[in-house]
Structure 1
Amino acid sequence: MASRKSLGDLIAETPKLLTDLVKAEIDNLKSEVAGKAKGLGIGGALLAVAGVLAIFLISWLLYAGYEGLNVVFVPWLSALLISALLLLVILILVLVGLSAIKKNKDFNNLQAVDSIKDDVNMVRGLGHAADGTDPLDDLDRNAFDANRVGTNPSSTNGVQR
């Protein structure tokens, strides 16, 4: 059995524990923001590539119109096919880029911020969640019941039948 610490030892450890908690929460927030920023960067890069290809598309369309007016046969038709292919690639890049930006643009619902708020509420003495939610809502009750020794998860109040 582990030895118990005195009240003085526990009080002496509190500042170190709070400092470690704040550092861990800041690291968690940094990694979450970095992930969102990476997603925004990828989406922006895909949109930039789509913009460059759009410039090529315009040049191909101009070339196709020129060839169509000059020859009205095979060369302009091939230019139109290449333009259609570039248009398809541009549309795919735009859709993927916009999807990545929409997915990562919301910085309001960061889990790290919620965790920091819960920690501040605990330090203030407001409990796990100042909004009145039960702190046990965060736990997986089935996993908790299954891990308890000598109990059957289907039994009530830990009493075996």
Structure 2
Amino acid sequence: MIVDLAKAEVEHLKQEVAGKAKGLGVGAALLAAAGFFAIFLFAWLLYAGFEGLNVVFAPWLSALIVSGVLLVIVAILALIGLGSIKKNKDFDDLEAVDSIKDDVNMVKGLGHAADGTSPLDDLPSATSTSGATTPRTNGDLR
């Protein structure tokens, strides 16, 4: 009876996840189509800006102005992107990796971080009414 209940719950979960995944797929496809047409829209707006500048300036100068604006936009985006890459390129200090290492050490029986300490030492201890911390005894989860 419990096994049947668990199987039914797993099947329900599969159906629910499949429905969500289908919705995500449709949404992603629509966003991709919107991005495709946005590229053409951007090109058309650049052409409209070029033609608008042709009213005031010579065509070669209009093309140069539009190109200069695009160059500035590209340079700004490239510098921001490079800064973001430099800021996030180091994967040595990931908390999840340290947590997994601690879990593996605990399963091996090596203690917290293989130094023999308890993981409970990382928990904040309870404070008494006077504000002083009370020491924890072995197994005390305060």
| TM-score normalised by length of structure 2 | 0.43
Structure of higher RCO (CA pairs closer than 8 Å, 6+ residues apart): 1
- TM-score scaled to structure 1, two decimals? 0.39
